[in-house]
Amino acid sequence: MKRLWSVLTVIALAAATTACSESGGGGGSSTPGVTDTDILIGTHMPLTGPAAAGYSKIAPASKAYFDYVNANGGVHGRKITYKIMDDTYNPATTQQVVRELVLQDKVFAVLNGLGTPTHTGVLDFLKTNRVPDLFVASGSRSWNQPDKYPGTFGFNVDYTVEGKILATHVKETQAGKKVCFLGQDDDFGQDSLAGIEKVLGPVAAKQSYVTSNPNVGPQMGALKQAGCQVVMLATVPGFTALSIGTAAKIGFKPQFVVSQVGADLGTLTKSLGAAAPLTEGLISANYLPLATDTANPWIQLFTKVNTQYNAGAELDNNAVYGMSVAYLFVQSLQAAGKDLTRDGLIAAVEKGGFQGPGLVPVRFAKGDHSGYAGEQLSKVEGGKQIYFGTPFTTDDDAGAVTAYTTAPVAPPQNGIPAAS
């Protein structure tokens, strides 16, 4: 009988230990995905499929920066392992791979999951499992719901904020012209259009597309028929290229003004091939240093990391984005401290105050989980994407679009954020 009680006691203790380890409480090995020497995180990315152009470069660039940090001692003595899962930009696949990351791999956090339609479907699952959901690769306003989704934080500029900034430029430089819109048939397109119309009022004509149908001929034809002189695009890179190329084929030559998420010139050039000169004059905006600005100290740092740890990949704006995400995540880990917990990480991000490569600040606070606060306008001139003017910030409501004049900070000498 004593032996039976002894066995039952051992079983009970083992069950209690398992429950504790899966609860996310405590530090070190009692937190999922965290040991004394390692931190396991994961992501879902379109490595293949309709959004792979350009976007497939993001996560490998983040991993390259983590490898650089790991080679220099890691964060509080822990090395970061980044598991990248291909979801093909298919929401059903996203749910499968995120469940695998959380339930099988037991990742500490999900970092920079990409896509509005894809990531929307895993918000409730990540919340239920209390998994930090950091720096989503999309500007949907859905990520900024701290009361409903306390563990989710954005990274990209809110699409409505971006729409307001781009529309303000159009209002100032294209006065009296017929402005039209083509956007993705989800929150990406809807939020962008909302920002545009806050500034310009109703657009003259609007069209939408779905990523499963790579034909925008009817949409471009309708915009041409409507007499559009300026076409604002809320498109992923493949559909930006399709829109520009299709318009040229039908003799339609509006001024294109494009969301940052679909405007990386290197990606567009590759997609358009011989038709790449059609990008000349394209207007967009961004909130990170451009890969071609070789005098920028952040680009110098990222070039060094890219050369050493990213298997010879080209440093384009997608790679800059991926490394910027990774830098912010390392800042967050440093701020969370050595006794790493999920709640501690979320609290550290909400405390905010992070400075990095961004041209404008990130907004993080207890009541604000949105990402970057604004953008600077860019234009393609002579086959190169360059900034002009100053960065601007605004809100996603009726606030004014205002210039932001504080200079960006330089990176630390060793390229790794210090513990706070």
The answer to whether residue 311 sits within a structural domain is: yes
Same domain, 58 and 130: yes
Same domain, 101 and 183: no
Label residue 21 by pLDDT band (50, 70, 90). Answer: very low
Per-residue pLDDT tens for 141-166? 999 999 999 999 999 999 999 999 99
Same domain, 130 and 174: no
CA–CA dist 309, 64 (Å, integer): 5
Same domain, 178 and 103: no
The answer to whether residue 21 sits within a structural domain is: no
Looking up residue 227, the CATH number of its domain turns out to be 3.40.50.2300
At 42 the three-state DSSP class reads strand
* Phi and psi, residue 108, nearest 5°: -70, -40
Instruction: Domain of residue 312: give its range.
Output: 33-157+293-373
Q: List, in order, residues 6 or more apart from 221 with CB less than 8 Å away.
A: 250
Same domain, 138 and 217: no
DSSP 218-280: HHHHHHHHTT-SEEEEE--HHHHHHHHHHHHHTT--PEEEE-GGG--HHHHHHHHGGGGGGGT
292 exposed, middle or buried (CB, 10 Å; 0-12, 13-18, 19+)? middle
CA–CA dist 254, 373 (Å, integer): 29
The answer to whether residue 4 sits within a structural domain is: no
Whether the Cβ atoms of residue 380 and residue 265 lie closer than 8 Å to each other: yes
The answer to whether residue 388 sits within a structural domain is: no
Q: What is the mean pLDDT of the chain?
A: 93
Same domain, 361 and 332: yes
CA–CA dist 77, 122 (Å, integer): 31
CA–CA dist 146, 411 (Å, integer): 30
Same domain, 174 and 270: yes
Label residue 29 by pLDDT band (50, 70, 90). Answer: low
Q: Which of 282, 288, 227 is nearest to 258 (CA)?
A: 282
Mean pLDDT along residues 283-290: 97
State pTM to two decimals: 0.90
Same domain, 328 and 340: yes
pLDDT at 420: 72
The answer to whether residue 68 sits within a structural domain is: yes
pLDDT at 6: 46
Residue 323 has pLDDT above 50, yes or no: yes
The answer to whether residue 389 sits within a structural domain is: no
Same domain, 184 and 268: yes
At 331 the three-state DSSP class reads helix
How many domains are contained in the chain?
2
